[in-house]
């Protein structure tokens, strides 16, 4: 990159603020999401003077990090956020933790009080490194100007490689004013961090053999396939084998949602067929997934049926954490799958097609229960219907972000993603307020594309202030709010497990979202009848250069099915017909 810069040749020195900005440019960053404050004023002054990247001014630091996160999830590149010390940093923590739980590569730069003031309870001082330690992949406090450039380089390197994650660089204000010679390192070598892992060939051979012998095979893939850019390989392998495939919430899009081998999402709100097949398969291939509690439910119940498990993951600590594994393969998912594809292609003839045929018959019987069925004749808008229609209207080509709750699950169940990275949701942390700022990040990274945020009337209020940012940067996001006047998911749990005692889950005193959207300079629409749903969606999505807030008044009593109660086994689902 800009290694032989003028400064280096002439021995000119740059300030820490200049260096910070130059590092971002030399790293090829095109967008920085941030919010200024005292500790980062020197950096902002340099941002003012440069043209290498665009700074997006959010309205709350949480949104800066979510937006950088949406950018990262949808592009595969490292997202960058910049916040000031103290409250700037604490506001960012929810965003950082959200990214951490879903292994999203971010570099968050935070201002800090001057080095001499650290520990003195200075104005807007917090221990940023201490506060974020449990929710970052790594963090740094820069105490010497000479370490600044290499630290930023390391931050990008660590964030993007291995199992990705957010990295925080905390920069004291005096460091941004001091001067030193600048050169951006082209690469870093860290003796304590080696992210490149090649899967063990012997294990891959064993796994391929096991897959080819399977009678009731199942392929279960997660967010790791998306993060590892291995959707192509996964799809090829599943097609070569002819076996059923399920995706986790984080993995949607890694295998085409409309493929006949796709049995839907699995887990707490997974399909009947996916969950039953997980429980009853004899060979399970897990790829870039981590058997978490929302996915396989109780591990003891899961272990009651015997099956052999092959587990591919880049992070060894994800393997054998909640379930015992027969063939662990630690390595880059794409490379491991490439190797596996070769072996499977050569040995395809050995598959037990008769047993697998019977297995498919069984799976199709499960499918026939049509577990996602809902009342299509209702004269109240069904939330599922809105998502289904949105899928039709957008031709399945939208980039979709969500908030957290019932709407998130309906979006996952009813919008079929055929490509990875188009589905952007907070899976691990389940952060309400994620949807709108994440959609900004996606839209800014993909101008001209259709970006929708499926949300609920409660979640959207958690970062509603970003409607202002959306106007400033003209991000024509389509907000599809499934307004049931409840924290629907909370209400559902209260209905099922707390005898209908709806403690504090009713959303009273809602704003007029149409007027609110208009007040922020956008288009608002209120849709109250099923017959108007499709027309409204068509009209809204046709407004290519406007943000449209669609307030759909949906059925207040609708529940998400199937549902695996927390702590139960994956096959112990509550189905719509059970109630």
Ligand X SMILES: Cc1ncc(C[n+]2csc(CCOP(=O)(O)OP(=O)(O)O)c2C)c(N)n1
Q: Which residues of this protein are in contact with ligand X, per CB under 6 A?
A: 403-407, 430-433, 456-459, 482, 484, 486-490
Nearer to ligand X, 194 or 557 (CB): 557
Residues 232, 210: Cα–Cα separation, whole Å? 22
The answer to whether 159 touches 78, Cβ cutoff 8 Å, is yes
Given the residues 101, 489, 525, 563, select the one marked as catalytic. 489
| Min separation Cβ 454 and ligand X, Å | 9
CA 509 to chain centre: 31
CB of 493 to ligand X, least distance (A): 9
Which listed option, another protein, ligand X, none, makes contact with residue 490 (CB within 5 to 8 Å by class)?
ligand X
Determine, following the binding rule CB under 8 A, whether residue 133 of this chain makes contact with another protein: yes
> Cα–Cα distance between 318 and 253 in angstroms, integer?
22
Among another protein, ligand X, none, partner that 320 touches (CB below 5 to 8 angstroms by kind): another protein
Check binding of 321 to another protein (CB under 8 A): yes
Nearer to another protein, 154 or 526 (CB): 154
Q: Which residues does residue 523 pair with via DSSP β-bridges, in sequence order?
A: 548
* Placement of tokens 């067929």 in the chain: 273
Of the listed pieces 316-324, 345-353, 521-529, 566-574, which binds another protein according to CB under 8 A? 316-324
CB of 194 to ligand X, least distance (A): 36
Beta carbon of residue 316, minimum distance to another protein (angstroms, whole number): 5
Among the options 61, 125, 273, 457, which is catalytic?
61
Measured distance CA(112)–CA(172) in Å, rounded? 4
Return d(Cα 437, Cα 104) in angstroms, integer. Answer: 15
Segment interacting with another protein (CB under 8 A) among 4-12, 31-39, 51-59, 313-321: 313-321
Q: How far is the CB of 127 from another protein (least distance, A)?
A: 10
**Which helix H or strand E contains 180, and what residues bound it?**
strand 179-181
- Which of the stretches 138-146, 222-230, 358-366, 500-508 binds another protein when contact is defined by CB under 8 A? 138-146
- 137, 153, 173, 478: the catalytic one is 173
Distances, alpha carbon 524 to alpha carbons 145, 202, 395, 438, 520, in Å? 49, 59, 23, 20, 10
Active site residue 349: no
Say which residues have a Cβ less than 8 Å from residue 397's Cβ, sequence separation at least 6: 450
Axis crossing angle, helix 231-241 with helix 333-347, rounded to the nearest 10: 20
Binder among 58, 141, 263, 467 for another protein (CB under 8 A): 141
* Residue 210 annotated to the active site: no
Q: Are strands 179-181 and 138-141 parallel, antiparallel or unpaired?
A: unpaired
Q: Which does 295 bind (CB under 5 to 8 A by kind): ligand X, another protein, none?
A: none
Other Cβ atoms closer than 10 A to 305: 13
Question: Contact at 8 Å (CB) between 288 and 228?
Answer: yes
- Active-site annotation holds for 268: no
Strands 245-247, 478-483: pairing kind? unpaired
User: Judged by CB under 8 A, which of 158, 438, 564, 570 binds another protein?
Assistant: 158
Rounded Cα distance between 382 and 410, Å, is 10
Q: Which is nearer to another protein, 321 or 546 (CB)?
A: 321
Q: Residue 11 binds which entry of another protein, ligand X, none, with Cβ cut-offs from 5 to 8 Å by kind?
A: none
| Catalytic residue list contains 340 | no
When CB distances are held under 5 to 8 angstroms depending on the partner's kind, the choice from another protein, ligand X, none that residue 456 binds is: ligand X
Q: Could you say which of ligand X, another protein, none residue 484 binds, taking C-beta under 5 to 8 angstroms by partner kind?
A: ligand X
Q: How far is the CB of 460 from ligand X (least distance, A)?
A: 7
| Residue 393 contacts which entry, ligand X, another protein, none (Cβ below 5-8 A, type-dependent) | none
Cβ atoms of 312 and 336 closer than 8 Å: yes
Q: Which of 124, 209, 362, 465 is catalytic?
A: 124
Active-site entry in 123, 515, 529, 577: 123
Instruction: Give the nearer residue to another protein in terms of CB position, either 193 or 497.
Output: 193
Whether residue 124 lies in the annotated active site: yes
7-12's contacts with Cβ under 8 Å and 24+ in sequence apart are: 7/181, 7/182, 7/183, 8/181, 8/182, 8/183, 11/181, 12/181
Q: Whole-angstrom Cα distance, residue 521 to residue 466?
A: 12
Q: Which does 457 bind (CB under 5 to 8 A by kind): ligand X, another protein, none?
A: ligand X
Closest CA to 412 of 392, 429, 391: 391
Given candidates 25, 41, 129, 240, which one binds another protein under the rule CB under 8 A? 129
Q: Which of 28, 87, 119, 130 binds another protein (CB under 8 A)?
A: 130
Name the strands in the sheet holding 166-172, side by side, starting at the edge strand that comes first in the sequence. 54-57, 31-34, 79-83, 106-112, 166-172, 138-141
For residue 89, give Cα distances in angstroms to 36, 130, 462: 11, 11, 18
Least separation in angstroms between CB 420 and another protein: 25
Question: What is the closest distance, in whole angstroms, from the C-beta atom of residue 315 to another protein in the complex?
Answer: 7
Residue with tokens 């807030």: 549
Query: x/- binding map, residues 159-198, to another protein, per CB under 8 A?
Result: -------------------------------xxxx-----
**Integer Cα distance of 396 and 390 in angstroms:** 8
Site residues, another protein (CB under 8 A) = 129-130, 133-134, 137-138, 141, 143, 158, 190-193, 315-317, 320-321
The catalytic residues are 61, 123-124, 173, 489
């Amino acid at each position: 990159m800009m290694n032989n810069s003028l400064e280096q040749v002439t021995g000119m020195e740059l300030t820490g603020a200049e260096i910070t900005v130059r590092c971002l440019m030399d790293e090829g960053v095109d967008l920085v999401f941030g919010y200024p404050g005292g500790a980062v004023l020197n950096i902002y002054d340099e941002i003012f003077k440069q043209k290498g990247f665009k700074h997006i001014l959010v309205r709350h630091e949480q949104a800066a990090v979510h937006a950088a996160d949406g950018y990262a999830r949808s592009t595969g590149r490292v997202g960058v956020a910049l916040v000031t010390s103290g409250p700037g940093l604490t506001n960012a923590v929810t965003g950082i933790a959200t990214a951490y739980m879903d292994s999203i590569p971010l570099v968050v730069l935070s201002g800090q009080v001057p080095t001499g003031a650290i520990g003195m309870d200075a104005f807007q001082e917090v221990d940023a490194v201490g506060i974020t330690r449990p929710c970052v992949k790594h963090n740094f406090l820069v105490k010497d100007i000479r370490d600044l450039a290499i630290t930023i380089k390391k931050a990008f390197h660590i964030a993007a490689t291995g199992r990705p994650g957010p990295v925080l660089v905390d920069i004291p204000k005096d460091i941004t004013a001091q001067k030193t010679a600048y050169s951006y390192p082209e690469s870093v070598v860290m003796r304590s961090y080696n992210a490149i892992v090649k899967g063990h060939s012997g294990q891959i051979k064993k796994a391929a053999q096991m897959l080819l012998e399977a009678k009731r095979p199942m392929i279960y893939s997660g967010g790791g396939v998306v993060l590892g850019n291995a959707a192509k390989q996964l799809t090829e392998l599943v097609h070569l084998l002819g076996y059923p495939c399920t995706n986790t919430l984080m993995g949607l899009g890694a295998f085409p949602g409309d493929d006949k081998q796709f049995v839907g999402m699995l887990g707490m709100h997974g399909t009947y067929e996916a969950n039953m097949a997980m429980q009853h398969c004899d060979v399970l291939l897990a790829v870039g997934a981590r058997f978490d509690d929302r996915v396989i439910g109780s591990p003891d119940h899961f272990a009651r049926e015997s099956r052999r498990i092959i587990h591919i993951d880049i992070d060894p600590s994800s393997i054998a954490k909640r379930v015992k594994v027969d063939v662990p393969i630690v390595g880059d998912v794409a490379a491991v799958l490439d190797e596996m594809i070769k072996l499977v292609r050569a040995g395809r003839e050995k598959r037990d097609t008769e047993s697998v045929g019977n297995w498919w018959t069984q799976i199709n019987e499960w499918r026939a229960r049509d577990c996602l069925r809902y009342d299509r004749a209702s004269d109240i808008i069904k939330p599922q219907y809105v998502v289904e229609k949105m899928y039709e209207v957008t031709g399945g080509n939208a980039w979709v972000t969500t908030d957290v709750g019932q709407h998130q699950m309906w979006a996952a169940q009813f919008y079929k993603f055929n490509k990875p990275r188009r589905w952007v949701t907070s899976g691990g942390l389940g952060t309400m307020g994620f949807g709108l700022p994440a959609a900004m990040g996606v839209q800014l990274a993909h101008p001209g594309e259709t970006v929708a945020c499926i949300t609920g009337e409660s979640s959207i209020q958690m970062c509603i202030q970003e409607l202002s940012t959306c106007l400033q940067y003209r991000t024509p996001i389509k907000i599809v709010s499934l307004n049931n006047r409840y924290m629907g998911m909370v209400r559902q749990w209260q209905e099922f497990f707390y005898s209908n005692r709806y403690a504090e889950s009713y959303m009273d005193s809602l704003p007029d979202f149409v007027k609110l959207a208009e007040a922020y300079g956008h288009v608002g629409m209120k849709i109250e009848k099923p017959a108007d749903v499709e027309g409204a969606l068509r009209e809204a999505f046709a407004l290519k250069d406007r943000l449209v807030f669609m307030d759909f008044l949906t059925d207040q009593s609708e529940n998400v099915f199937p549902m695996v109660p927390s702590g139960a086994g994956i096959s112990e689902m509550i189905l719509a017909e059970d109630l």
